[in-house]
Amino acid sequence: MADAKPRIRLDNKEVRKGETVEVKTLVSHIMETGLRHDPSGKLIPRMIINTFTCELNGKFVFGCDLERAVAANPYFQFRFKPEESGTLKFTWIDDEGVRIEATETIKVT
Amino acid sequence: MSRRQALTAGAGAFAAGLGVAAAGPARAANDYAEQIRIFTGGKQPIEGRVKLELPELAENGNTVPMSVAVDGPTGDVHVQEILILAPANPNARVVRFRFSAMSVAAAATRIRLAETQDVIAVAKLSDGTFLSATRQIKVTIGGCGG
């Protein structure tokens, strides 16, 4: 699962200061709830992404704590007003501590 | 796997998904009220200014589009967090969005809903106030293997 490349879309990678950037992210993950049973009746253990964060040059922008009620292949959409040009870093962490990371570059003029 | 086994397994997964394990009551309410209390520190959230959007009807509870936004926090006041709760899910908490001073107080995702219910959003503002909104959604097929 960790090898799945997350998909990120920014509506604008070059904005003027004060303008808003909309971010859409999608990552492949089963998001197993831990509430389902396999055909033999055994409980399938929980395995979800529990944290997502977005940082700009190391500064926190947006994040969330996911519970099992977030659908498989978590999708997030959010908006922010970047204060400076730089690297947006996206991080997803699952129950086994596996990190999925991606970066994007934005320019603020 | 025989037909009988398949049916039993299916029913079991369904029951477990809805949080109605054999011993439990049919519609075990989860601890959503307690979760709100923990989130607000006992403060009563004010109804309004939070826009929670969900379809009126979800045929498939496995992936329900949801968006939330808070109206007009102005000046130095900004939205710090928004907690989404599903009172009729096996677990009350759905997702907690965390915002920064750079953020626009809005976010969207896709969630799982076990059955028809009133989804709740509670927003925490930087001035210590809490706002909330409730939205009913009808779910045809629960999002837990049913």
Here the ipTM equals 0.93
Please give the Cα distance from B58 to B83 (Å, whole number): 21
- Cβ-based contacts of B91 with chain A (< 8 Å): 67-69
3-class secondary structure for B83-125? Answer: EEECCCCCCCEEEEEEECCCEEEEEEEEECCCCCEEEEEEEEE
Q: A71 CA to chain B: closest CA distance, Å?
A: 5
The pLDDT tens digits of the residues spanning B112-145 come to 999 999 999 999 999 999 999 999 999 988 776 5
pLDDT, averaged across chain B: 83
Please check the confidence at residue B22 and state whether its pLDDT lies above 80.
no
Model pTM score: 0.85
Chain A 59-78, residues with CB within 8 Å of chain B CB atoms: 59-72, 74-78
The pLDDT tens digits of the residues spanning B71-83 come to 876 678 899 999 9
Q: How buried is A34 (Cβ within 10 angstroms: 0-12 exposed, 13-18 middle, 19+ buried)?
A: middle
Q: A3 CA to chain B: closest CA distance, Å?
A: 22
List the single residue in B with minimal CA-CA distance to A55.
Answer: B100
Q: Which pLDDT does position A78 carry in this prediction? A: 97
Chain B 36-65, residues with CB within 8 Å of chain A CB atoms: 62-64
B19 close to A (CB below 8 A): yes
- List the beta strands (DSSP E) in chain A: 7-10, 14-15, 21-26, 49-56, 59-66, 75-80, 86-94, 99-108
Q: B82 CA to chain A: closest CA distance, Å?
A: 9
The residue of B98, B111, B113 whose CB has the most chain A CBs within 10 angstroms, and thus the best one to mutate to test that interface, is B98
The pLDDT tens digits of the residues spanning A17-43 come to 999 999 999 999 999 999 999 999 999
Q: Of the candidates B9, B93, B108, which has its C-beta nearest A41's C-beta?
A: B9
- Cβ-based contacts of B144 with chain A (< 8 Å): 33, 35-36
A43 close to B (CB below 8 A): yes
Instruction: Using alpha carbons, select from B76, B144, B110 the residue that is nearest to residue A77.
Output: B110
- Please, which residues have CB within 8 angstroms of residue B54's CB and are 6 or more apart in sequence? B64, B65, B66, B119, B135, B137
The pLDDT tens digits of the residues spanning A42-99 come to 999 999 999 999 999 999 999 999 999 999 999 999 999 999 999 999 999 999 999 9
A108 or B21: which carries more pLDDT confidence? Answer: A108
Please say whether the beta carbons of A21 and A79 come within 8 A: yes
Q: Which pLDDT does position B142 carry in this prediction? A: 79
Tokens at residue B55, please?
């379809």
Q: Work out whether strand B57-60 and strand B130-141 pair parallel, antiparallel, or are unpaired.
A: parallel
